Copies of this chain bind each other. A is one copy, B any other.
Amino acid sequence: MHELLLRRLSQYIELSSEERNGITKLCSSIPRYVGARRLLIDEGEELYSIPYLLRGWACSYKVLEDGRCQILSFFLPGDLWDFGAPAGSRMATALRTIKDSILIDIPRDDFADLVARHPRLGEAFRWSGMVTDEISRERIVSLGQRTSRERCAHMICEIFWRLRAIGEVDGSSMELPLTQEEVGHTIGVSTVHANRVLQDLRNDNLIRQFRKGLQILDLAKLQRLAIFNPNFLHLQTKSAALRAPVKRPGVGAPLLLGQDGNVLRMSNVAV
């Protein structure tokens, strides 16, 4: 029932049997079955427990006063929701299911206790959290810099690699239970435009869509289009963490080199 979590943590540390038992006990609550498109936690609600998704899909989102809605992240099987938040904090986003799902509520205190007793588990969770953070940073880059085609391709790649990591892709096909409205809310375009972008990708023979699924016809080309670096999900082990520093062309570099000295005029500063 909690193999996904064990598998994930094993990517970062070797789990002792005590640690395994701790996780097992943590996940011993009775699973809840929740239908598609149901609110799990509303924005501003206090978090009494950490939702742990066993099956299904969910997403976090924010709704502006006038109804505009932005999906911030997907919540896939094996994911723990925001385990790093301090006790007593409130949800900064709402959380809802996308399709029929099964989840467990892990008491926050039990989680804190376990991590306190096993600091290495805490370490592993923090490594796991870095992946989540990196996904959200990459979403900022997408929304700020990538074209809508690229954003859509990037979203597909992200989901593909994440589902692959938990054994939920079949060759090049995967489930994609998102409506085009949800795709739009994710990549920051209207529903109509989400439709056009998806059609575009289909017409270019990059993807194929069926019922509630999607097949990637040319992963390499899709990733190139998305400027997608699969490494960013590969914080699998400490040694392989992120990619090596790379010098890049473009705006950043010359900007930073065209300056004199490292010491600034003291007249402007005081400690």
Contact = CB atoms under 8 A, between A and B. Distances in A.
Nearest to A12: B86
A244 interface: yes
A266 B139 CA distance: 34
Interface in A8-58: 31, 33-39, 42-45, 54-56
Interface stretch (A203-211, A213-221, A249-257): A249-257
A7 interface: no
Contacts of A67: 248-252
A176 interface: no
A266 B146 CA distance: 40
For the complex, would chain A's binding face be called helix, strand, loop or mixed by DSSP majority? loop
Given A64-B141, A64-B145, A69-B145, A259 B126 contact: no
Which 7 A/B pairs are nearest by Cβ-Cβ distance? Answer: A67-B250, A144-B188, A143-B143, A100-B264, A90-B242, A44-B245, A70-B144
Number of copies: 2
A147 B144 CA distance: 12
Contact of A242 (B44, B123, B246, B258): B44
Interface stretch (A128-136, A162-170, A192-200): A128-136
Interface residues of A, number: 92
A7 B42 CA distance: 31
Given A145-B68, A269-B100, A130 B85 contact: yes
